[in-house]
Amino acid sequence: MDEKTIQVIVCEDKKDVGFKAFRIFSDAIYSNPETVLGLATGSTPVEMYKQLIALHKEKGFNFSKTASFNLDEYFMLASDHPQSYRYFMNDVLFNHINIDKTRTHVLNGVCKTPQSECQQFEEILFEQYGGVDLQLLGIGSNGHIAFNEPGSTLDSRTRIVDLNQQTKKDNARFFQKQEDVPTQALTMGIGTILEARKIVLLATGENKAEAINDAINGPITPDVPASFLRYHPDCVFIVDKDAAAIL
């Protein structure tokens, strides 16, 4: 696989990161209302989601034909658990726009057989929807994308994974007790993500600076899963000054 150049846009602050991402996503849906989105949870995309909601509420922007596939879900958390990613997506985006919920796809964290849940998710994504047109990503402070932790391979597909110490530490703020922090998740693989037609990764804050620099300037390695994005022909990183600090 040939290495490509990642386009990097450095913004003043996280509001501007959200706005630039919002422009890319709203333009894509405007030109093709049936756009298949790949969506992320976490704190970074929330600003962009707010702006998409405002566009719907203030201008009647139409999401009714748009479809979405989320990157990941905690294993063993049901969709009505406030920390589940299905709950999060409904709360921060889907409940406030006119997207058809039957076209929004989040892996089922309480499935009986994770392997068949993951396989079925990919079948629906690729066979019924033709794959992701526009993929949104965040990045972990350890360089993870979705829940592809360091050590994940380029050809990995949607599967169940163990979360590593750093991720559990980063996520602990959302749970009351350390024991409540999930230890496993279902996640799209790196190979799955790289099949998206366009990828937009957002990062804000100084705790992402090292991961951003490693992804762009370090070796392409499973130690930094985001470095594999350098094999994608159309990938843009939108980062604030703090996340770009050591580039």
Residues marked active site are found at 72, 142, 144, 149
CB of 225 to ligand F6R, least distance (A): 9
The DSSP bridge pattern shows strands 134-137 and 36-39 to be parallel
Which lies closer to ligand F6R via its Cβ, residue 40 or residue 216?
40
Element containing residue 186 per DSSP (H, E): strand 184-187
DSSP state string for 101-150: GGGEE---TT-S-HHHHHHHHHHIIIIIS-S-SEEEE---TTS-BTTB-T
List contacts with ligand F6R (CB under 6 A): 40-44, 71-72, 138-140, 144-146
Least distance from ligand F6R to the Cβ atom of residue 150, Å: 12
Report the nearest approach of ligand F6R to the CB of residue 155 (Å): 19
CA dist 194 and 4 (Å) reads 13
And the tokens for 23? 């422009």
Pairing of strands 36-39, 72-74: unpaired
Nearest residue by C-beta to ligand F6R? 138
Nearer to ligand F6R, 133 or 170 (CB): 170
What's the min distance (Å) between Cβ of 60 and ligand F6R? 28
Give whichever of 139 and 190 is closer to ligand F6R, judged by the CB atom: 139
Sheet holding 104-105, edge to edge: 7-11, 235-240, 198-203, 134-137, 36-39, 67-70, 104-105
**CB of residue 139 to ligand F6R, shortest distance in Å:** 6
d(CA 189, CA 219): 20
CA–CA separation, 92 vs 187, rounded Å?
A: 20
Maximum pairwise Cα distance, the chain:
46
Would you say 40 or 200 has its CB closer to ligand F6R?
40
Nearer to ligand F6R, 59 or 161 (CB): 161
Question: Helices 46-59 and 14-31 sit at what angle, rounded to 10 degrees?
Answer: 50
